[in-house]
Structure 1
Amino acid sequence: MNGKTIGVIGAGAWGTAMAQSLSSGGHDVELWALEADVVHDINTQHENKRYLKNIPLSPRLRAVSDIKEAASNKDFLILSSPSLYLARTVAQIVDIPSIVNGSTCIGVLTKGLIPTDTGPKLILDVLETVLPFAYRKNLVYISGPSHAEEVAAGKLTGLIAASENPKNSIRFRELMKVPGLMVFSSLDVVGVQICAAAKNVIAVIFGCLDAIAEQSNMFGDNTEALLLAAGLNEIQTLGFALGATHAETFTSIAGVGDLEVTCRSTYGRNRRFGRDIIQKNILDSFKNLDDCIERIGEIGYLPEGAVACKYIQEISRKLSIKLPICSGLYRILNKEIKPLDFLIELLR
């Protein structure tokens, strides 16, 4: 594929890493950032010092502060804003002519769920109500074990591009044939989205377990493997309850692959959050889960699992499905149970 014009909406670590990977592969990329210092640093020093420190960025990667500029007249547009802000961010670009007519192919990196008046919804379900009708069943969801630091550094990473429109999945697969990325197509947009959202919840509990294991002899590698397996079962249960279509999604890089790296890697923000709950008593600053979500910016990084666990709790209650680990994190963040007491209860 010849060099394409690409807009990336959201200059956090993952959005910046994807922009870097694509620009290094020969594409012209404009990256929208909300923060003026991020735009300045990327354009003058070729580094995102706020969100992706010490990673040199390609000179052909250009940052902009005007979201319409980043989204207009692009062959491809990639959405990477956090789930909490995604819908309102996308609402700012729906009147752009190349979006109105559907000529720009849109992919989504954001992981999580989005609240609506009728309950939490999957990312693509919400975006299809915000974007013009041309994008119904045409969006592409991109996920997999992909820590931003490694993607930006060019370390080989596998991703899944899932869409109900197989042609669009293939278009993104071809677009991302750049050094360091290996992309596979999928039709299971529900399963891939659930894996991306729910694995962050499991990773927070894993972080709690990891930190407690350093302080006592109660838990070890065997216990962590037990938790990972149980977590994967919960992700699959939730996925099928919501309409996942392929069992192999959960044993692919979108499922077990992303779960494993999110739980075990030192780059993982959700694992870090779990460790901080134990080691830094970070929850002492918040009254309950809602207070934590409302003031989540005070944490200093964004643990998506804290937000996702609230929405997964709502879904599991509505569908009457049992998800002990996800429910357990909800109880921990809501200050209904201590992490150690929950883990003992869960693993007995």
Structure 2
Amino acid sequence: MRAVVMGSGSWGTAVAKILVDAGNEVTMWARRPELAEQINTLHENQDYLPGITLPAGLTAVSSVAEALDGKELVVCAVPSQSLRANLDGWRDHLPADAVLLSLAKGVEISSGERMSQVIKEVTGFGDSQVAVLSGPNLAREIAMEQPAATVIACTDEAVAQRVQEAFAAPYFRPYTNTDVVGTEIGGAAKNVIALACGMASGMGFGENTLATLITRGLAETIRLGVALGADITTLAGLAGVGDLVATCSSPLSRNRTFGARMGEGASLEEAQAATNGQVAEGVKSCRSVRALAQQHEVEMPLTEAVYQVCHEGLPVQDMVGMLLGRTTKPEVYGAAR
């Protein structure tokens, strides 16, 4: 398959490597010409995946028109909150019969839309041309060819299977799903829960606390997903539990690391400075996920707590009391609790 990865961050670069290793003809678009040149000459993305040798067959370009020309699969590998603006710039160059695959995990702040909805709205493409990829996929581990799996979701099963075949590399196993909503909600919510887990770790709490946050985070993710029409089994799989566990547990997760710095006493600005000026996706997503939950009258206490810490000045230490002081309830999944 002729594929292009639009974006040259760590995950976009790892995905480009997967696609080459799976036997595809792959181009990667980098906004900065100097980064494209670095990838072509050194076969390494020193800015985002230093130390990882990229396949010689991977070609990088900085021209949008050149990148998109004649491509069958267009992988959207830019952050969720900048996807719309990027699509506006790409739209006139998109092949009419291409499949667009989103890697972004989030809910757009301005509209409350999931990434597949943004793609369809901006491009005019139908459901059968838009797919999403999500799972326990930490970029560096996959770039090192450590075994991992993911979910390719599209409402059209045949299209999902075509994309699945393109991603089937020796170390990367893709599964298909037609539940786009559940796949996207799992990916968006897990970044918020990972921030909470990082904050707890930074405060010195151990595995019981981490397990509690992951499990209760899953409960509120399920509530939101069900309210939006997701299949609960999707959130019990790779795009739900799998992604949640990986992101909440690994020091390679930017969200968990960012939260840990805040748990250690850093302000939002200090945590951002410590991550080379990059804001963890969950800091933005907690705002939009919270708004989506309020719109559908879904209770998401962990998300609410993270939002208050990140955007309303709630001290991290007070977050624990806020959560533990809630009224005791039965553990019921899929209900508004």
Query: Quick one: distance in 2 between partners of 1:297 and 1:136?
Result: 40
- What is the 5 A alignment of 1:47-62? 47-62=44-59
1:159 partnered with 2:150: yes
The offset of 1:26, in angstroms, is 2.2
The offset of 1:136, in angstroms, is 3.4
Amino acid at match of 1:37: E
TM-score for the superposition, normalised by structure 1: 0.89
For residues 19-44 of structure 1, the C-alpha deviation after alignment (integer angstroms, 9 at most, x for no partner) is 01111232221100112332121111
1:115 partnered with 2:106: no
1:176 partnered with 2:167: yes
For residues 57-116 of structure 1, the C-alpha deviation after alignment (integer angstroms, 9 at most, x for no partner) is 0011111101221112012111111111111111222222x62x3x22221111111134
1:68–1:92: 8 Å Cα contact kept in structure 2? no
- What is the 5 A alignment of 1:187-226? 187-213=178-204, 219-226=205-212
1:45 partnered with 2:36: no
State the match for 1:346 in structure 2: 323
What's the secondary structure of 1:229's corresponding residue?
helix
State the match for 2:268 in structure 1: 283
State the match for 1:337 in structure 2: 314
1:313 paired residue among 284, 287, 290: 290
The offset of 1:283, in angstroms, is 1.9
- What is the 5 A alignment of 1:231-242? 231-242=217-228
> Structure 1 stretches of 5 or more lacking a match?
214-218, 287-291
> Structure 2 stretches of 5 or more lacking a match?
326-337
State the match for 2:229 in structure 1: 243
2:127–2:156: 8 Å Cα contact kept in structure 1? no
Query: Quick one: distance in 1 between partners of 2:49 and 2:267?
Result: 23
Amino acid at match of 2:4: G
State the match for 1:216 in structure 2: none
For residues 2-31 of structure 1, the C-alpha deviation after alignment (integer angstroms, 9 at most, x for no partner) is xx2111001100000000111123222110
2:259 paired residue among 271, 274, 293: 274
1:269–1:301: 8 Å Cα contact kept in structure 2? no
- What is the 5 A alignment of 1:61-80? 61-80=58-77
Amino acid at match of 1:340: Q
1:12 partnered with 2:9: yes
The offset of 1:258, in angstroms, is 0.3
State the match for 1:142 in structure 2: 133
Amino acid at match of 1:173: Q
2:43–2:53: 8 Å Cα contact kept in structure 1? yes
1:230 paired residue among 216, 233, 257: 216
Indicate how the Cα distance of structure 1 residues 302 and 70 shifts in structure 2: closer, same or farther if over 3 A, else same.
Answer: farther
The offset of 1:347, in angstroms, is 3.0
State the match for 1:90 in structure 2: 87
What's the secondary structure of 1:262's corresponding residue?
helix
Query: Quick one: distance in 2 between partners of 1:304 and 1:66?
Result: 27
Indicate how the Cα distance of structure 1 residues 49 and 284 shifts in structure 2: closer, same or farther if over 3 A, else same.
Answer: closer
What's the secondary structure of 1:107's corresponding residue?
strand
Amino acid at match of 1:38: L
The offset of 1:297, in angstroms, is 11
CA root-mean-square deviation: 1.9
User: Would you say how many aligned residue pairs link Structure 1 and Structure 2?
Assistant: 325
Query: Quick one: distance in 1 between partners of 2:106 and 2:312?
Result: 22
For residues 167-220 of structure 1, the C-alpha deviation after alignment (integer angstroms, 9 at most, x for no partner) is 11011111111111111110110010000000000000100001111xxxxx32
Query: Quick one: distance in 2 between partners of 1:18 and 1:191?
Result: 22
Query: Quick one: distance in 2 between partners of 1:21 and 1:256?
Result: 23
Query: Quick one: distance in 1 between partners of 2:80 and 2:175?
Result: 24
Amino acid at match of 2:34: D
Percent sequence identity over matched residues? 32
TM-score for the superposition, normalised by structure 2: 0.92
The offset of 1:247, in angstroms, is 1.3
What's the secondary structure of 2:89's corresponding residue?
coil
Amino acid at match of 2:99: C
What's the secondary structure of 1:7's corresponding residue?
strand
2:188–2:289: 8 Å Cα contact kept in structure 1? no
